[in-house]
Structure 1
């Protein structure tokens, strides 16, 4: 076991240093930060304009005295809706031919009018390309009802209703709903990070195979150790990226406010939930990464890797959907199934940590996921030996050579093999 760990460490260290100490890795780290920063800035700049572009405008043919109560009713209702949800009102003085004026207003391209209201509060008629049960018709009905009620109250004054509010610390339904929000946010973040980072393992062995370097490595160390070393090194590289992006998120939260404080408190508390998030990210990366490494090791060209990328991405989305269905019902059949199925288990268990206070299921889940990581590595290494190296389980050359060396000598041999591989690449 000591020799195996030394060999995996040598292979992993080489991959880690070769990747992290490169200019392309710096661009890889800064790329998402720049994209997110530009997206947020552009989103804030264009959100208001976008809402105004899609806001409906209704022309009201009425005198100022008739239009005043309608506009006042709209302003009273507006706080109950999101900005620009209610249609904007445009007043037009009545013409001698109302029908012709209505047609001209609907044809005015500069005003973007979708409907014209005539008849005032007593005989309202809405003309336009709208449906009987559409949003514009429903919202205009609310505005006119509010204006008519206000007119009736003006004739017979009624004191405004006062609602006495009794606040409680929390209710079970509200807590469950809020924790589900945290669960889905955690799942989404975990899914996005894995999609962004784990896919690189599909092509991790392609360079060594194309340059025949894998034969040198296979002669020095066991294939299992190569797989473990590459998988762990890629996990370490991804954690460097996550750390940099997390630091950027903390800086942004400090400058603009918000952060995780805007999310409801998870059931296990924020410190333990963040720790579980890190552990489940590592487990999810190792599970999918081991699978991707095994699949990608069978590819012989960049084209084959690109062909595999689509089904791999679709598979990740299906796993995310399965885990998402378990949110809100962690103890149901589908919730337990998502937690037991190894490839969706990290996502489902992270959501469980946001909703339930039990700790022991997480210890069992992490042990279960670690077992499946090892099984997938063994399967991938076995298929690689059989299909790529064309050697069966009984192939003895690498193992005999390995068995004659001490742990330090074997690790040194692996280092020399990897160094030679680097020279071949250069």
Structure 2
């Protein structure tokens, strides 16, 4: 056993240093950072432009006093709407021919008016290319009703004043915390899924490259095949952890330099943030080892780079279904689906990380970690067995055949 681990350490150290201290790894690290930076930049600009494009404008043909009353009513109702949902009011003084004025306003391309309100507060009429159930119609109806009620109160001598809602804050609510923790669980599942979608694919190209260069034949002659697979798997796991550390540091640096207006609020998990982060890291390693062993087994059967390029597609489809299966366990971790997702080896890390966010018990994680470690070892053994039977056996057979051919020729 010690000889196997020592051989695996030698293979792993060789692959780790060869990968980390290469120019391709630098571009591998910079790729997601640049992609995320451009995505955030384009996303922020696109969201701002989309909000401007989505905001509707309504022209109000009324006197200045009536328009001010309608605008004041909209201001009082503004907290009930998002910024991009709130209708932009455009004042237009009444003309001699109202119908022609309505047509001119609706045909104006500069103001982008979708509807025109006429009749003031007493006889409101909304004309435009909108449906009866549109947000613009409902919002304008609320605004006109608010303006009418404010006018009635003003005539009665009771000026409308904002009502202060008394708010009583409690320390916590079991229902709200359980609901919010599911958001934390789904976020952790998504992070694990996104990281393990493309990182184990590096094992395929690395393995096939060494097969084509006959490096694997030299390694198999020196160390056991199990040690080769184990060393390569842990080496690429360490490479991925280095990449994740760089990306996390870049993300924290970006947040420190350009702090966002608001961050996505994640409720503290049931086991607490320090232990939850540790469990996320452990389950990521388990998920990587399980999928990485599967990738190694598939890569050992591939004989060309073209096959390597097609293999990740069906594997990714399987990963998506596993992710969907594990996501069903969120909120029902004690039910049949939750237990089944925790037992199934390839969905167990995703299911257990959601359990850490929702339940404070720690003993299920000890069992799950041992269970996943067992299956990771069995996956490595199985992949090495496939390689030993299907690849090395065929190579030895072809070598013996060629030797017999040479002997008969002599």
Give the TM-score normalised by structure 2. Answer: 0.90
Partner of 1:210: 212
Measure how far apart 1:256 and its partner are. Answer: 4.4
Measure how far apart 1:45 and its partner are. Answer: 4.2
Partner of 1:38: 38
Measure how far apart 1:122 and its partner are. Answer: 2.3
* Residues 314-329 of structure 1 mapped to structure 2, 5 A cutoff: 314-329=317-332
Partners of 1:124 and 1:390 lie apart in 2 by 86
Measure how far apart 1:46 and its partner are. Answer: 4.4
Q: 1:148 to 1:324 in 2, by over 3 A?
A: farther
Q: 1:155 to 1:325 in 2, by over 3 A?
A: farther
Partner of 1:296: 299
Assess if the C-alpha contact under 8 Å between 1:385 and 1:391 holds in 2: no
* Residues 8-407 of structure 1 mapped to structure 2, 5 A cutoff: 8-156=8-156, 157=158, 160-257=162-259, 262-390=265-393
Partners of 1:121 and 1:315 lie apart in 2 by 60
CA-based RMSD: 2.3
Task: Show CA shifts across 1:279-305 (max 9, x none).
Answer: 011011111111111112212222222
Partners of 2:72 and 2:300 lie apart in 1 by 69
Partners of 1:86 and 1:341 lie apart in 2 by 49
Measure how far apart 1:215 and its partner are. Answer: 1.8
Structure 2: any 5+ residue segments left out of the alignment? Answer: 398-410
Give the TM-score normalised by structure 1. Answer: 0.86
Assess if the C-alpha contact under 8 Å between 1:191 and 1:320 holds in 2: yes
Partners of 2:88 and 2:288 lie apart in 1 by 50
Partners of 1:113 and 1:221 lie apart in 2 by 76
Partners of 1:321 and 1:153 lie apart in 2 by 56
Assess if the C-alpha contact under 8 Å between 1:204 and 1:293 holds in 2: no
Q: 1:354 to 1:9 in 2, by over 3 A?
A: same
Partners of 2:281 and 2:3 lie apart in 1 by 29
Q: How many residues align?
A: 394
SS in 2 for 1:204: helix
Q: 1:27 to 1:61 in 2, by over 3 A?
A: same
Partners of 1:222 and 1:207 lie apart in 2 by 19
Question: Higher relative contact order at CA 8 Å, sep ≥6: structure 1 or structure 2?
Answer: 1
Task: Show CA shifts across 1:326-379 (max 9, x none).
Answer: 222211222222211111111111111011100000011111111111122122
SS in 2 for 1:271: helix
